[in-house]
Amino acid sequence: MKLVHDPIHGHIELDDFAVGLVDTPEFQRLRRITQLGLAFLAYPSARHTRFEHSLGTFYLAKRITEHNPEIEEGAVYAALLHDLGHYPFSHTLEALYPRHEENTKWFIMHGEIGDVIGERYSVREFLKLLKHPLVSGDIDADRMDYLVRDAYYTGVAYGLVDLDRLVRNLLWRDGMLVVGGKGVMAAQNLLLARSMMYPTVYQHHVSKIASAMLITAVELEGIPSDEIRTMDEVDLIARLRASERAEVRELVRAVDDRRLYKRVLYSASDPGVDAVAELRRELEAEFGHLVIVDYPPKPKFEEKNAFVETERGLKRLSEVSPLVRSLVELKDTHWRWGVYARADVRERVERFLRAFFD
């Protein structure tokens, strides 16, 4: 047994099997994958990594399991490994490559960590547990950890959640984690916290612009999936800095120096996929890598599906809490798409956009 100090949960206990998993190169790589990608350009202190978050998720999963002994034991270790496959800068590059969940499976099938798992479980069976409700449910250990952790590291007040109350009131019913009656307020609070972290931190425009620049650099560099999958942030940045293409070197340098592209357009009104595609083509033809169109998918808000145990049976959280209903309705409020340009071409791009939308 080993104890790890953690500012969020105090001390996290790792049993011998967990220590075995953590001590593999695949898991140690998570120390070099920033939890919030480039958000540190907006919140300098947001330097925490997928490593700590994975340990924290394991801790919460274990606590939930303690009072729900029907949950199969392996699910707790799956919680520990649920983010194993993240690319450098976490979600940033998922726009270009398969989702990180695919990569997690790949690591387990091809890495040392698979051997450790194999000592106790069938790897094949274990892979299924990666989608266990403990980490892929609507209200789960994963979300509980990252909200509180991201708030702690950014210093933002909005991520506070009554973890203890929520943990105690997550109940295992028919293969689902449902919220017990005394946990509804805490569950609602988790969703509120998330809805406030979303525009403040997760979709901060500084982070979005820097991410768009990094994505463009990686795309130009043309790194194949089977190369990027095992990279950490040192590998990726070093590769881009040493690129043969001047645009790539320029982009990564600009991200390093926080000399970011400027917002020429930043709008909540959605012109539609086709218009955006056309705009992107035309802008690229005219300006190359000096202009980037950022058209992110609309946020999902799946937590509304969380179930609550009431006197009259299971109900959806959004049925029970009018505030959650509002959150669902409001989920698109903070969505923005944007056009970002290097400072020196800003005005030309402005004129171009005016002409385009005329």
Binding site for a second copy (CB under 8 A): 3-8, 10-11, 23-25, 28-29, 31-32, 40, 43-45, 47-49, 51-52, 55, 152-158, 160-162, 164-165, 168, 185-186, 188-189, 192, 195-196, 199-200, 232-235, 237-238, 241, 256-259, 322-323, 325-327, 329-330, 333
Identity of the residue, 52 or 309, whose beta carbon is nearer to a second copy in the bound complex:
52
* DSSP per-residue codes, 248-286: HHHHHHHHHTT-PPEEEEEESS---HHHHHHHHHHHHHH
- Least CB distance to a second copy at residue 12 (A): 9
Longest dimension (CA), the chain: 66
- Least CB distance to a second copy at residue 22 (A): 9
* DSSP per-residue codes, 58-121: HHHHHHHHHT-TTS-THHHHHHHHTTTTPPTTGGGGGGTSS-HHHHHHHHHHHSHHHHHHHTTS
Q: How many angstroms separate the CA atoms of 232 and 210, rounded? A: 18
- Least CB distance to a second copy at residue 168 (A): 7
- Least CB distance to a second copy at residue 125 (A): 27
Identity of the residue, 152 or 337, whose beta carbon is nearer to a second copy in the bound complex:
152
**Cβ-Cβ contacts under 8 Å for 28 (sequence gap 6 or more):** 22, 51
Identity of the residue, 111 or 338, whose beta carbon is nearer to a second copy in the bound complex:
111
DSSP 159: G
Identity of the residue, 102 or 256, whose beta carbon is nearer to a second copy in the bound complex:
256
Identity of the residue, 263 or 280, whose beta carbon is nearer to a second copy in the bound complex:
263
- Least CB distance to a second copy at residue 44 (A): 5
Rg of the Cα trace of the chain?
A: 22
Which amino acid belongs to residue 69?
P
Residue 34, SS3 per DSSP: strand
Identity of the residue, 74 or 207, whose beta carbon is nearer to a second copy in the bound complex:
207
- Least CB distance to a second copy at residue 49 (A): 6
